[in-house]
């Protein structure tokens, strides 16, 4: 298996009290592996108390469960099993984080399941499987998070923040990516709806859309022809790393980022500029 490309998972310091997210709570879905994992660890390194959630503790790219590095960065942070398809469980966890921490500051939906094939090749079962995680799952955690955030008093004018993980494939069509692309377009529209509908109430909602990110996983997404296609589409002379995405999430999560909402931040090495 290709080794993960995250570099050090601990960063320069294990002191989690001094960062920009100090005192904040954050929930990340799909945090056992890949990009979600890098986001959870980056937020913890920035001082947040992180609930890293996933349906499994297994790491797609291999290596120790996320709880290991997470607990070494931040003793208050934890892994919790959460299937984003379970609406009640999503709501319950959002409320419980607020109970334990005082409030829920940030939700980052990153969990996803891949979908391949054109419309002609997409069975109703495949369609439901992809939508169940990538659309319903994002709705479930956003809805649970929002309901909790709306009960909280604003802090620095903000009741709570969402950073939704989209994709460049939710913005342009990729051949053979029908259900996945449609699911990613849907979550980008959720982001805009929430940003507009709940701005008055102090909710900040943005998205980060990665280009091709090498997470260390094997399979069709990193088949040689797929990598060659992604390299040809990416102006910068490398593909992305999970840490690149995590850094963009941190920018949008930072309480100092006060006037950005309804924005889709591309982390794609220039893919969508070409």
Ligand X SMILES: NC(=O)c1ccc[n+]([C@@H]2O[C@H](COP(=O)([O-])OP(=O)(O)OC[C@H]3O[C@@H](n4cnc5c(N)ncnc54)[C@H](O)[C@@H]3O)[C@@H](O)[C@H]2O)c1
Q: Which stretches of the chain bind ligand X, using CB under 6 A?
A: 29-30, 32-36, 54-56, 60, 82-85, 110-113, 133, 137, 165, 167, 210, 212-213, 215, 217
Measured from the CB of residue 36, what is the shortest distance to ligand X in angstroms?
5
Cα(13)–Cα(269) distance, rounded to whole angstroms? 27
Cα(231)–Cα(239) distance, rounded to whole angstroms? 7
Taking the CA of residue 7 as centre, how many other CA atoms within 13 Å lie in the half-sphere pointing to its CB? 10
Nearest alpha-carbon partner for 42 in 70, 82, 62, 68: 70
Residue number with the smallest Cβ distance to ligand X: 34
- Strand partners for 240: 213
Residue (103 or 271) nearer to ligand X, CB: 271
Measured from the CB of residue 259, what is the shortest distance to ligand X in angstroms?
26
The answer to whether 209 and 269 are in contact (CB under 8 A) is no
How far CA 147 is from CA of 136, 144, 224, 251, 262, in Å, comes to 16, 5, 44, 24, 19
Measured from the CB of residue 129, what is the shortest distance to ligand X in angstroms?
10
Residue (27 or 82) nearer to ligand X, CB: 82
Active-site entry in 79, 162, 178, 180 = 180
Backbone angles phi, psi at 218, to 5 degrees: -100, -175
117 Cβ neighbours under 8 A, 6+ residues apart: 126, 176, 178, 179
Residue (158 or 205) nearer to ligand X, CB: 205
Give catalytic status of residue 180 as yes or no: yes
Measured from the CB of residue 176, what is the shortest distance to ligand X in angstroms?
15
According to DSSP, the β-strands at 264-267 and 49-54 are unpaired
Measured from the CB of residue 163, what is the shortest distance to ligand X in angstroms?
11
Residue (158 or 182) nearer to ligand X, CB: 182
Residue (151 or 218) nearer to ligand X, CB: 218
Residues noted as catalytic: 180
């Amino acid at each position: 298996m290709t080794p993960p490309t995250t570099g050090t998972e601990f960063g320069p310091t294990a002191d989690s009290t001094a960062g920009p997210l100090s005192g904040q709570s954050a929930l990340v879905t799909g945090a056992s592996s890949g990009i979600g994992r890098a986001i959870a660890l980056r937020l913890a390194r920035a001082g947040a108390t992180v609930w890293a959630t996933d349906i499994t503790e297994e790491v797609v790219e291999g290596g120790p469960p996320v709880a290991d590095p997470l607990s070494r960065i931040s003793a208050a942070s934890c892994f919790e099993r959460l299937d984003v398809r379970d609406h009640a469980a999503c709501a319950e966890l959002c409320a419980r984080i607020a109970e334990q921490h005082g409030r829920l500051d940030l939700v980052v939906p990153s969990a996803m399941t891949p979908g391949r094939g054109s419309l002609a090749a997409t069975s109703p079962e495949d369609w439901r499987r992809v939508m169940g995680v990538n659309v319903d799952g994002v709705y479930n955690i956003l809805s649970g998070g929002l309901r909790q955030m709306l009960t909280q008093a604003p802090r620095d004018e903000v009741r709570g923040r969402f950073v939704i993980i989209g994709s460049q494939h939710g913005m342009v069509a990729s051949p053979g990516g029908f259900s996945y692309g449609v699911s990613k377009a849907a979550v980008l529209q959720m982001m805009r709806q929430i940003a507009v509908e709940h701005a008055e109430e102090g909710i900040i909602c943005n998205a980060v859309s990665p280009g091709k990110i090498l997470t260390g996983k094997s399979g069709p997404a990193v088949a040689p022809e797929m990598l060659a296609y992604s390299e040809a589409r990416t102006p910068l002379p490398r593909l992305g790393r999970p840490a690149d995405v995590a850094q963009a999430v941190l920018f949008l999560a930072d309480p100092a980022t006060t006037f950005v909402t309804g924005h889709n931040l591309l982390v794609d090495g220039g893919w969508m500029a070409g």
